[in-house]
Structure 1
Amino acid sequence: MRMMFPGSPPFWVLLLVVLLTLSGQEALTQKGRKKVIHVSEDDSGAVVVQTAPGKVVTHRGGTIILPCRFHYDISAHDADEIRLKWTKVVDPMSFEDVFVAMGQERRAFGNYRGRTALQEDGAGDASLVIRNVTLQDYGRYECEVTNELEDDAGMVKLDLEGVIFPYHPRLGRYSLNFHEAQKACLEQDGILASYDQLHEAWLDGMDWCNAGWLDDGSVQYPISKPRDECGRKETAIGVRNYGYRQKEEERYDAFCFTSNLNGKVYFLKTYRKLSFPEAVHACQGNGATVAKVGQLYAAWKIQLLDRCEAGWVSDGSIRYPIVNPRARCGGREPGVRNLGFPDKKYKLFGVYCYKESNGGGTAKKGMRKWKARRV
Structure 2
Amino acid sequence: MPCGQPLLLMTITWMALALASPVTSLPEADKGRRKVVHVLEDETGAVIVQTAPGKVVTHRGGSITLPCRYHHEPESADLDRIRIKWTKVSDSLQFEDVFVALGRQQKVFGSYRGRVALENMGPGDASVVIHNITLQDYGRYECEVTNDMEDDTGFVNLDLEGVVFPYHPRMGRYKLNYHEAEAVCRRQDAILASHGQLHKAWLEGLDWCNAGWLEDGSVQYPIAQPREHCGDKDTPPGVRNYGYRHKEDERYDAFCFTSNLNGKVYFLKRFKKVTYAEAAKACLRDGSAIAKVGQLYAAWKIQLLDRCEAGWLEDGSVRYPIVNPRARCGGSHPGVRTLGFPDKKFRLYGVYCFQKNPEKSAARGAHGAGGI
Name the counterpart of 2:223. Answer: 223
**2:258 matches 1:258:** yes
Equivalent residues in 2 for 1:8-23 (5 A)?
10-20=6-16
Deviation at 1:236, TM superposition (A): 1.0
Distance 1:151 1:359 in 2: 41
Q: How many residues align?
A: 341
- Deviations 1:88-109, CA, capped at 9 Å, x for gaps: 1134432001111111111111
Relative to 1, partners in 2 of residues 1:234 and 1:16: Cα closer, same or farther, differing over 3 Å? same
Corresponding residue for residue 368 of structure 1: none
In the alignment, what sits opposite 2:50?
36
1:341-364 CA-partner distances (Å, limit 9, x unpaired): 01112343100000012299xxxx
Unmatched tracts of structure 1, length 5 or more: 39-52, 361-375
Rounded Cα–Cα distance in structure 2 between residues aligned with 1:266 and 1:24: 39
Q: Which residue does the alignment assign to 2:241?
A: 241
Aligned partner of 1:150: which letter? E
- 8 Å CA contact 1:17–1:55 kept in 2: the answer is no
- Using the alignment, how far apart are the partners of 1:325 and 1:194 within structure 2? 29
Q: Distance in 1 between matches of 2:37 and 2:167?
A: 45
Specify the SS of the correspondent of 2:229.
Answer: helix
Give the corresponding residue for 1:370: none
Tell me, yes or no, if the aligned pair for 2:10 and 2:69 is still in contact at 8 Å. yes
User: What residue in structure 1 maps to residue 77 of structure 2?
Assistant: 77
Query: 1: distance between equivalents of 2:37 and 2:281?
Result: 60
Residue 373 (structure 1) aligns with: none
Q: 1:25, 1:120 → 2: CA distance?
A: 18
**Runs of 5+ unmatched residues, structure 2:** 17-25, 361-372
1:114 Cα deviation from its structure 2 partner: 0.5
Instruction: Note if contact 1:276-1:348 (Cα within 8 Å) is conserved in structure 2.
Output: no
Q: % of aligned pairs identical?
A: 64
In the superposition, relative to structure 1, how do residues 127 and 356 fare at CA in structure 2: closer, same or farther (>3 Å)?
A: same
- 1:128 is displaced (CA, Å) by 0.7
Determine the structure 1 residue equivalent to 2:368. Answer: none
Runs of 4+ deviating beyond 6 Å: 21-26, 29-33
Alpha-carbon distance in 2 for matches of 1:247, 1:119: 40
**Matches of residues 37-76 of structure 1 in structure 2 within 5 Å?**
37-38=51-52, 53-74=53-74
1:130 equivalent to 2:130? Answer yes
Measured in 1, the distance between the counterparts of 2:118 and 2:178 equals 36
Which position in structure 2 is the counterpart of 1:323?
Answer: 323
Q: Which has the higher contact order (CA 8 A, sep 6+)?
A: 2
- 1:91-106 equivalent positions in 2, closer than 5 A: 91-106=91-106
Q: Say which SS state the counterpart of residue 230 (structure 1) adopts.
A: coil
Give distance in 2, aligned partners of 1:284 and 1:148.
59
Deviation at 1:82, TM superposition (A): 1.0
Contact 2:212 2:253 in 1 (8 A): yes
User: Judging changes above 3 Å, is the alpha-carbon distance between structure 1 residues 26 and 165 closer, same or farther for their aligned structure 2 residues?
Assistant: closer
The TM-score, its normalising length taken from structure 2, stands at 0.87
Using the size of structure 1 for normalisation, the TM-score is 0.86
CA distance in 2, matches of 1:359, 1:271: 32
Local SS of the residue matching 2:90: strand
Q: Equivalents in 2 of 1:275, 1:99: separation in Å?
A: 49
Q: What whole-Å deviation, never above 9, does each CA across 1:84-133 have from its counterpart, x for those lacking one? A: 11111134432001111111111111110000100111111110100010
- Please give the alpha-carbon distance, in whole angstroms, between the structure 1 residues aligned to 2:233 and 2:75: 68
Residues 174-224 of structure 1: CA deviation (Å, up to 9, x unaligned): 111001111111100101000011111111111110110010000000101
Change (3 A) 1:35 1:108: closer
